[in-house]
């Protein structure tokens, strides 16, 4: 061999570089990043398909509003506070439990309340004043 082509030296130097711990760790890091990227892309595609399926079954806005407007039947009815209303809580009215909100005042348990406002899904109550004859 000619002195200006040190092929055996190049092979030994290349193998030494390939066997060095730093190079091996770098190679493992690159492989791990590629694998994590591939797994993330697959998972993202699956999740986006699940989201599309879930969103197709949602009701439109009109049907949701019509449901919330049906609670106007409670307007003016009296109920009993079954949890403290501070300012939100639950009352028993018309043989059912309804989540309500006061105008900011605290109403303890077992007090009579009256439904004074129904606005969409928001039902506002006040403590029922006792009338003395």
User: Residue 89: which of 111, 68, 70 has the closest Cα?
Assistant: 111
Determine phi and psi for 128, rounding to 5 degrees.
-75, 125
Average pLDDT over residues 21-44: 87
21-56 and 7-19 helices, crossing angle to 10°? 50
Check the CA dihedral 19-21-23-24 and report its sign: positive
pLDDT-wise least confident of 12-21, 76-85, 121-130 = 12-21
Identify the pLDDT of residue 115: 94
Q: pTM of this prediction?
A: 0.48
Place of tokens 């082509």: 5
pLDDT band at residue 131, thresholds of 50, 70 and 90?
Answer: low
How many whole angstroms separate alpha carbon 39 and alpha carbon 73?
53
| pLDDT on residue 25 | 84
């Amino acid at each position: 061999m000619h002195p200006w082509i040190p092929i055996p030296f190049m092979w030994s130097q290349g193998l030494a570089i390939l066997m060095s711990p730093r190079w091996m760790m770098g190679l493992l890091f690159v492989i791990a990043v590629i694998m994590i990227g591939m797994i993330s892309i697959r998972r993202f595609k699956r999740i986006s398909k699940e989201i599309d399926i879930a969103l197709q079954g949602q009701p439109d806005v009109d049907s949701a509003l019509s449901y919330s407007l049906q609670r106007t039947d409670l307007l003016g009815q009296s109920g009993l506070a079954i949890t403290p209303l501070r300012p939100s809580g639950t009352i028993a009215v018309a043989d059912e439990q309804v989540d309500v909100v006061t105008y900011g005042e605290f109403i303890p348990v077992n007090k009579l309340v009256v439904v004074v406002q129904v606005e969409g899904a928001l039902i506002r109550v006040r403590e029922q004043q006792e009338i003395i004859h």
